[in-house]
């Protein structure tokens, strides 16, 4: 029986991923973790986990660092990054850090299932691969949708997740002043003037963060 660890701090996202992955095969088991520390505890307790799905923006440690830790402590377990940070630089960095594949959060659930299947079979899926393996545009990615830089897209993701400026600064290793500069650029890109207006604009646009 296949066991998959889902490391994602948003409960609804974890549950949706687990529900979709249950279609992969009868009896498939998904174990959920809300952050890096919880993920490591789960892995210590379950030596038979076949694959981990990891978000890059976790509350206690970024996904890149978690990948490095997993590579040292659990070198035989493959990991797929599932993130809205799907720009080329983030994809390359994730793969260099040890990810066995990368799936954009802008992808459909079927793409996720196919990516898991590919990795379990020894393949390496990337954000530009559809369920059939053909290239697809990443037009719904935040950076491209709003013409943001990679740093601004990361701030936008955390903003949409309800993080404060201080929390965003801590998670990204920035000063609050730098976060405010990014916020100003994001507001300008979205055509809004406040945090609440930005959240409404994101919701109305249907952006997949």
Q: Edge-to-edge strands of the sheet including 101-104?
A: 29-33, 3-7, 51-54, 79-83, 101-104
Cα angle, residue 66 at apex, residues 61 and 68 outer, rounded to 5°: 135
Residue 203 pLDDT > 90: no
Distance, in Å, from the CA atom of 189 to the CA atom of 71, rounded to the nearest integer, reads: 38
71-115 pLDDT, tens per residue? 999 988 999 999 988 777 888 888 888 898 899 888 888 889 988
Single out the residue of 141, 153, 161 nearest to residue 186, CA to CA. Answer: 153
Q: How far apart are CA 25 and CA 169, in angstroms?
A: 41
Identify the three-state secondary structure at position 28: coil
Q: What is the reported pLDDT for 132?
A: 35
Higher pLDDT, 71 or 207: 71
C-alpha separations of 147 from 46, 181, 190, 204 in Å: 42, 16, 10, 17
- Give me 125's structure tokens: 């899926």
Please check whether residue 61 is in contact with residue 35, taking contact to mean a CB–CB distance below 8 angstroms: yes
Record the tokens describing residue 148, joined without a space.
């943001």
Largest CA distance in the chain: 51
Q: How confident is the model at residue 126 (pLDDT cuts 50, 70, 90)?
A: low
Residue 101 neighbours by CB distance under 10 Å: 24
Residues 39, 5 contacting (CB under 8 angstroms) = yes
**pLDDT, tens digit, 9 for 90 and up, residues 67-78:** 999 999 998 899
Q: Which position has the higher pLDDT, 30 or 129?
A: 30
pTM attached to this predicted model: 0.63
Residue 206 — φ and ψ, nearest 5°? 75, 20
């Amino acid at each position: 029986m296949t066991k998959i660890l889902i490391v994602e701090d948003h409960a609804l996202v974890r549950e949706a991923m687990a529900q979709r992955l249950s279609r992969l095969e009868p009896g498939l088991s998904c174990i959920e973790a809300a952050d890096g520390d919880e993920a490591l505890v789960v892995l210590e307790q379950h030596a038979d986990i076949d694959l981990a799905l990891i978000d890059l923006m976790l509350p206690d440690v970024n996904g890149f660092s978690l990948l490095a830790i997993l590579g040292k402590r659990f070198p035989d377990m493959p990991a797929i990054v599932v993130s809205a940070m799907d720009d080329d630089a983030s994809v390359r960095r994730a793969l260099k850090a040890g990810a066995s594949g990368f799936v954009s959060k802008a992808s459909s659930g079927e793409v996720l299932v196919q990516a898991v299947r590919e990795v379990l079979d020894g393949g390496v899926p990337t954000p530009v691969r559809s369920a059939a393996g053909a290239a697809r545009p990443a037009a719904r990615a935040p950076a491209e949708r709003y013409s943001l830089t990679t740093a601004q897209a990361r701030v936008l993701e955390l903003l949409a997740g309800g993080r404060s400026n201080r929390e965003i600064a801590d998670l990204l290793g920035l000063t609050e002043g730098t976060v405010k500069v990014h916020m100003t650029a994001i507001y300008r890109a979205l055509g809004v003037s406040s945090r609440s207006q930005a959240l409404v604009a994101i919701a109305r646009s249907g952006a997949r963060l």
